[in-house]
Amino acid sequence: MSFPPLHAFRVFECVARLGHVGAAAAELHVTPGAVSQQLRTLQSSLGIDLFYKQGRHLVLTQSGLALQRSVARGIHEITEGVRQIAQEHFKEPQAKVLTISTEPIFGATWLMPRLFAFRAEHPHIQLRVISADELGEVDWRRADIAVLYDAPIWDGFWWRPLQPLHMFPVCCPQLLRGPHALRQPSDLIHHRLLHEDDGTQWRRWLLEARLPYPGDADVHFEDFGIALQAARDGYGVALSDEINSSRDLMEGRLVQPFSMKVPAAMDYYCICNEESRGVPEIVLLIDWLIEQAKATPSN
């Protein structure tokens, strides 16, 4: 006995379940004649009657009933097997969570809007942001990446520079007008210099501009973000960089009164543990942030 074609068993199962050639033909999207031909081929190959007529319906014989149970089981197992492998192949990748540790000012002014853009491009990676101002403050039990303004002398860490930084004066637009308008660097003598360090950055910039340092600040800010806010509010002139003031300059809250810049004492770096440098998602995020930094206007 030659083994009948598998398609004949599929037609047999459909007719056995519905009890009618026409109904089976409709489900299988073939003609009733094609269904009848398959049944004849199957019964001829087996040498066994599988149905007998009862009015307009076909009723299974005892042999047909036994075969129907086996075929139905087989079709169910094939269907379930196909479903399982398809589900495994096409299932959504499991979300990966990355935690970034960074300075609050950098996180608010530059990083935050770009993280939402990253999520839109890479929905399988979820992001968490925590705060630290320097490497020694980073909680590496939670953080996968740190983005910090620092100088790289870090054993056990891998890093890449985000973007070489330059420092330049920034102020609110109102300081470009009036009797003491900022038109040239020497006009700074009429304005408060806003500090967030010991004056080192301003000394470097003023030295390049060939101007004397006016002395210690009358109001000193330990936090860079507060110094920038004072500049936005018109209380003086701050030194900033392409990264932290990019949005303020683009949206007009701050202006750059002079074109002269000096290299920053340090730069922003993307940092991770050495053992994490091979994690694809971490490398992807660091590369993406560096590309975003390259696209930041340099003013």
Domains of the chain: 6-90 (1.10.10.10), 96-164+266-294 (3.40.190.10), 166-263 (3.40.190.10)
Only one residue has tokens 């269904």, namely 35
pLDDT of residue 87: 74
Q: Are 59 and 53 in contact (CB under 8 A)?
A: yes
pLDDT at 91: 62
Q: Which residues, other chains included, contact 298 with Cβ-Cβ below 8 Å and sequence gap of 6+?
A: 166, 242
Please give the structure tokens belonging to residue 263. Answer: 């290299």
If one counts every other C-beta atom within 10 angstroms of the C-beta of residue 219, the result is 12
Note the pLDDT of residue 85.
83
- Count Cβ atoms below 10 Å from residue 14 Cβ, excluding itself: 21
Instruction: Look at residue 243 in the predicted model and tell me its pLDDT.
Output: 87
Q: What is the pLDDT of residue 57?
A: 81
- E strand residue ranges, 55-202: 57-60, 96-102, 125-131, 145-150, 157-163, 166-170, 193-194
**pLDDT tens digits along 238-292:** 999 988 898 899 999 999 999 999 998 888 999 999 999 889 999 999 999 999 9
> What are 178's two structure tokens?
């009036």
Per-block mean pLDDT, blocks of 10 residues, the chain (299 long) = 78 87 87 88 86 85 89 87 77 80 90 92 93 92 93 87 91 94 94 89 93 83 90 95 90 95 90 91 94 77
Sequence-ordered list of residues with C-beta below 8 angstroms from that of 87, at least 6 positions apart, any chain:
none
Query: How do beta strands 267-273 and 145-150 pair?
Result: antiparallel
Name the token pair of 38. 């398959």
pLDDT of 1 reads: 56
CA R_g for the chain: 37
Could you tell me which of 297, 177, 156 has the C-alpha nearest to residue 234?
177
Q: Which amino acid is at 21?
A: V
| E strand segments, 225-280 | 237-240, 262-263, 267-273
Model pLDDT, residue 212: 92
Nearest alpha carbon to residue 260 among 168, 173, 182: 168
Alpha helices (runs of H) in 156-298, residue ranges in sequence order: 200-208, 224-232, 246-251, 280-294
Check residue 118 and give its pLDDT.
Answer: 94
- Return the ∠ at Cα 57 (arms to 21 and 31), rounded to 5°: 10
Q: Is 252 left (phi over 0), alpha (psi -120 to 50) or beta?
A: left
